[in-house]
């Protein structure tokens, strides 16, 4: 913002920008999907410049205006999914936190926002959103099977496919906590990337994350993966559904983190041997399209949390 613009005018302009982006995200289908990710940026800028108090005040004003122009439910989703994350990120930048701490705070806020949003929607709409989503998935598969049958696909093959779909749907129900966490992660990444793109253009300093080849996670996640695997075994063999659900989510989250660390280790190997960018992309795509390779890289990443292969292979460790 220019030097002659007062903080009040600056705040008003940033609120107006947030409002416009929010309206675009609702009323313009394709562009709105991408515009939604930018809802947090004006609030993050305002908070970084003027503090958390001004940021939250702007968030409340934006929520009220959006509620008047669209609907309170959509306004709640935008405010909690992106607005609160923007305020959190701006506050961290104002406090001069490191890049990792900024991202973790944003992720925690995004996760809490997802839980609050779900709880509010259930309370206001008085429906079970999980059951509704499951019914929508079942209906979608039923329509697909009907289409295949009308195209002359053998009934035996359709019956086999139906038998495989139901366990997958039940697995999706069990993994709802993980799905919520992944949604929060996507929101946090979107806020982080958009802020990293906009902030330097406004002369606001924001730290950068370490190079991907240097990413490492605590060894705790290796142990949680083991606990999750044991919990799933006990849940299946003893019929403890609740234990099975908790253990399944624990194992999947640990495996996802292990996959990220495994890919980071692979990136370090590529850097070490100066593999070209084209070949790197080829290997990444090949891994992510093959479930066996995904599991292998995830397990390697989990083991790397304990043994630190980079230190042993590249830095002369024991």
- For 97-140, the pLDDT digits (tens) are 999 999 999 999 999 988 888 887 777 766 666 667 677 777 77
* Res. 318 pLDDT band, cuts 50 70 90: very low
Q: Are 283 and 266 in contact (CB under 8 A)?
A: yes
Q: Does pLDDT of 202 surpass 90?
A: no
Q: Are 170 and 130 in contact (CB under 8 A)?
A: no
What distance in Å separates the CA atoms of residue 117 and residue 72, rounded to the nearest whole number? 12
In a domain, 130, yes or no: no
What distance in Å separates the CA atoms of residue 57 and residue 38, rounded to the nearest whole number? 19
Q: What mean pLDDT is predicted for residues 264-269?
A: 94
In a domain, 75, yes or no: yes
pLDDT in tens, 23-44: 887 777 777 777 877 888 899 9
Q: What mean pLDDT is predicted for residues 152-175?
A: 76
Say whether both 298 and 198 belong to one domain: no
Q: Does pLDDT of 224 surpass 90?
A: yes
CA dihedral 226, 214, 106, 127 (to 10 degrees): -40
What is the predicted pLDDT for the residue at 260? 96
Say whether both 196 and 218 belong to one domain: no
Say whether both 192 and 288 belong to one domain: no
* Res. 218 pLDDT band, cuts 50 70 90: very high
Among 264, 202, 170, CA closest to 41: 202
What is the predicted pLDDT for the residue at 143? 75
H or E segment to which residue 160 belongs: helix 155-174
In a domain, 78, yes or no: yes
Q: Does pLDDT of 290 surpass 70?
A: yes
In a domain, 141, yes or no: no
Say whether both 219 and 113 belong to one domain: no
Compute the mean pLDDT over every residue in the chain, rounded to the nearest whole number: 85
Tokens 């890919």 belong to which residue?
263
Which of 54-58, 107-111, 124-128, 273-277 has the least mean pLDDT? 124-128
Say whether both 77 and 191 belong to one domain: yes
What is the predicted pLDDT for the residue at 315? 66
In a domain, 207, yes or no: no
What is the predicted pLDDT for the residue at 289? 93
Q: Does pLDDT of 168 surpass 80?
A: no
Say whether both 238 and 104 belong to one domain: no
| Between 77 and 116, residue with greater pLDDT | 116
What is the predicted pLDDT for the residue at 127? 62
What is the predicted pLDDT for the residue at 316? 55
| Between 249 and 144, residue with greater pLDDT | 249
Q: Does pLDDT of 155 surpass 70?
A: yes
Domain total of the chain:
2
Say whether both 57 and 198 belong to one domain: yes
Q: Does pLDDT of 146 surpass 80?
A: no
Say whether both 11 and 88 belong to one domain: yes
What is the predicted pLDDT for the residue at 19? 82
CB atoms within 10 A of CB 206: 19
* Res. 227 pLDDT band, cuts 50 70 90: very high
Of the chain, the percentage scoring pLDDT greater than 90 comes to 37
In a domain, 64, yes or no: yes
State the residue range of the domain holding 105: 7-124+178-202
Q: Does pLDDT of 256 surpass 90?
A: yes
* Res. 207 pLDDT band, cuts 50 70 90: very high
Which of 111-125, 153-167, 275-289, 303-317 has the least mean pLDDT? 153-167
Q: Write the CB contacts of 61 (distance below 8 Å, at least 6 apart in sequence).
A: 15
In a domain, 86, yes or no: yes
In a domain, 234, yes or no: yes
Of the chain, the percentage scoring pLDDT greater than 70 comes to 94
What is the predicted pLDDT for the residue at 317? 46
The DSSP output letter for 130 is H
């Amino acid at each position: 913002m220019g030097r002659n613009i007062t903080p009040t005018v600056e705040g008003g302009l940033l609120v107006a920008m947030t409002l416009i982006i929010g309206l675009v995200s609702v009323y313009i289908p394709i562009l709105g999907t991408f515009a939604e990710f930018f809802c947090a940026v004006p609030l993050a800028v305002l908070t970084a410049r003027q503090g958390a108090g001004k940021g939250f005040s702007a968030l409340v004003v934006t929520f009220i205006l959006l509620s008047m122009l669209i609907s309170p439910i959509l306004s709640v989703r935008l405010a909690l999914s992106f607005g609160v994350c923007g305020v959190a990120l701006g506050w961290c930048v104002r406090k001069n936190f490191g890049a990792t701490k900024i991202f973790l705070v944003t992720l925690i806020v995004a996760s809490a926002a997802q839980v609050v949003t779900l709880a509010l929607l259930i309370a206001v709409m008085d429906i079970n959103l999980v059951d509704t989503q499951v019914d929508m998935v079942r209906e979608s598969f039923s329509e697909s099977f009907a289409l295949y049958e009308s195209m002359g696909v053998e009934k035996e093959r359709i019956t086999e496919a139906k038998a495989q779909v139901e366990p997958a749907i039940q697995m999706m129900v069990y993994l709802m906590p993980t799905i919520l966490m992944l949604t929060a992660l996507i929101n946090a990444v979107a806020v982080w990337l958009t802020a990293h793109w906009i902030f330097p253009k406004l002369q606001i300093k924001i730290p950068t994350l370490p190079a991907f080849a240097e990413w490492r996670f605590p060894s705790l996640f290796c142990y949680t993966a083991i606990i999750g695997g044991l919990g799933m075994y006990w849940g299946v063999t003893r019929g403890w559904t609740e234990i099975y659900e908790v253990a399944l989510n624990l194992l999947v989250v640990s495996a996802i983190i292990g996959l990220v660390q495994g890919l980071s280790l692979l990136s370090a190997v590529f850097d070490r041997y100066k593999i070209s960018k084209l070949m790197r992309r080829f290997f990444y795509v090949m891994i992510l399209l093959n479930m066996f390779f995904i599991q292998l890289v995830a397990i390697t990443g989990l083991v790397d949390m304990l043994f630190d292969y980079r230190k042993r292979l590249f830095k002369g460790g024991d």
